[in-house]
Amino acid sequence: MESSTLVAMLLADGRLPTGGHAYSAGLEPAMMGGLPASSVPEFLRARAVTSSRVEAGTAVAARHAVLTGADVRSVDAAWAARTPAPAVRDASIAQARGYLRLAVRLWPAASSLAQMRGASWSPSRSVVVGAIAAEAGLGADELVRVVIYDEAATAAGALLKLDPRDPAETTKWILDTCEYAEHQVASLSTITEPAGIPGAGTPQSEEWAQRHSRATHRLFRA
């Protein structure tokens, strides 16, 4: 098995010790906002062609920036401009710290990762994942698929705690979501500039996230 495939499997594994278990990919905020559990499959597909496109495009642009020596901070700024809710940005930055801690241990010679960890600014999760992909030799198309899968799997995993059911059912939803979003892979994998990152906003999810950040009873951070 190629090393890049192993890296893709590692990044897509929910057991990766980055603190991802504390996040629901927007599902808990949505359910607290009134989304019924029966609508979760539609929720996953909707995210796959909106917010997940932003995340995947950001990761691909960050990967390209690291590989070419371009300014990765401009990629992060473009992501922030497309992610208006402070709660969503804060959650992404917190997750990024977990990814960086692990990545620096796995790839100690990777200067881009070490520089990000010691930087005066805080990168988003997608930027860090893109940098990991660059250092680990993960292709742009594989990276897009990993991001889309991870978003769907995180939400589906959270549902098992919020509204327990047969895990085989939610696994099918994840696979269906990835298949539904496959048509985006080719175009997203060609992004090389921050301006090319999609601006697929999700105003309702952003509003839910803001309300959720003020909740006193919740299982997940976001």
What is the DSSP annotation of 79-95?
HHHT---HHHHHHHHHH
pLDDT computed for residue 13 by the predictor: 66
Instruction: Write out residues in the chain with pLDDT < 50, as ranges.
Output: 1
Residue 202 domain-assigned?
Answer: no
Residue 22 domain-assigned?
Answer: no
pLDDT computed for residue 108 by the predictor: 85
CB contact at 8 A, 163 and 37: yes
Angle between helix 140-162 and helix 167-181 axes, rounded to 10 deg = 150
Q: Total domain count for the chain?
A: 1
pLDDT computed for residue 1 by the predictor: 47
Residue 74 domain-assigned?
Answer: yes
- Report the candidate in 32, 54, 30 with the shortest Cα–Cα distance to residue 44: 30
pLDDT digit string (tens) for 121-151? 899 999 999 999 998 899 999 999 999 999 9
Residue 143 domain-assigned?
Answer: yes
Angle between helix 40-48 and helix 140-162 axes, rounded to 10 deg = 160
Residue 8 domain-assigned?
Answer: no
Task: Domain of residue 68: give its range.
Answer: 40-190
Q: Which one-letter DSSP state was computed for residue 219?
A: S
pLDDT computed for residue 4 by the predictor: 62
Q: Which one-letter DSSP state was computed for residue 37?
A: G
Residue 11 domain-assigned?
Answer: no
Residue 197 domain-assigned?
Answer: no
Q: Strand, helix or coil at 120?
A: coil
pLDDT computed for residue 136 by the predictor: 87
pLDDT computed for residue 21 by the predictor: 78
Residue 180 domain-assigned?
Answer: yes
